[in-house]
């Protein structure tokens, strides 16, 4: 059985423009070979490929991977069912916004804590 690790427990997505497959693997708790397989199964997922076919994922790709992961691992969809959900926009708007907020809020908290530390150092 697949291990159900909740997306809310995943690390905060850094404010970088591009991520390597190894970084995305760690950010989404999915092995690199699974990411490559998902590229074949989900047409929405298409990272930029550069020299030597190296993959570079953008921020929206990481969010998309987390959504796919949630459908497969947490909600129990099959690959085909998850593909249909992604293609038809089957994830309700409220839930989609909730997932995005759950990903943005920890990042904002971390950034605010960093600002607070800077202010404390200067004071």
Closest by CA position to 44, among listed 33, 58, 27, 32: 58
CA distances (Å), origin 44, targets 87, 107, 111: 8, 25, 30
The pLDDT value given to residue 51: 85
Selected residue with higher pLDDT from 92 and 112: 112
Residue 65 pLDDT > 90 = yes
Residue 79 pLDDT > 90 = yes
The pLDDT value given to residue 57: 95
Mean pLDDT, rounded, for 2-9: 53
Mean pLDDT taken over the chain: 84
Q: DSSP label at 14?
A: P
CA distances (Å), origin 50, targets 17, 33, 97: 15, 18, 32
Selected residue with higher pLDDT from 97 and 108: 108
Residue 28 pLDDT > 90 = yes
Mean pLDDT, rounded, for 15-43: 94
CB burial string 36-69: b at 16+ within 10 A, e below: eebbeebeebebeeeeeeebbbeeebbbbbbbbb
Selected residue with higher pLDDT from 71 and 6: 71
């Amino acid at each position: 059985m697949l291990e159900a690790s909740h997306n809310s427990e995943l690390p905060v997505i850094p404010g970088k423009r591009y991520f390597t497959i190894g970084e995305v693997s760690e950010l989404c708790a999915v092995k690199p070979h699974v990411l490559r397989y998902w590229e074949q199964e989900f047409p929405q997922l298409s990272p930029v490929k550069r020299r030597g076919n190296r993959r570079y994922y953008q921020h929206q790709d990481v969010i998309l991977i987390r959504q796919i992961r949630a459908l497969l691992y947490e909600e129990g969809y099959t690959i085909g069912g998850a593909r249909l959900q992604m293609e038809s926009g089957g994830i309700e708007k409220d839930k989609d916004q909730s997932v995005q907020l759950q990903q943005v809020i920890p990042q904002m908290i971390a950034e605010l804590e960093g600002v607070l530390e800077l202010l404390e150092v200067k004071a």
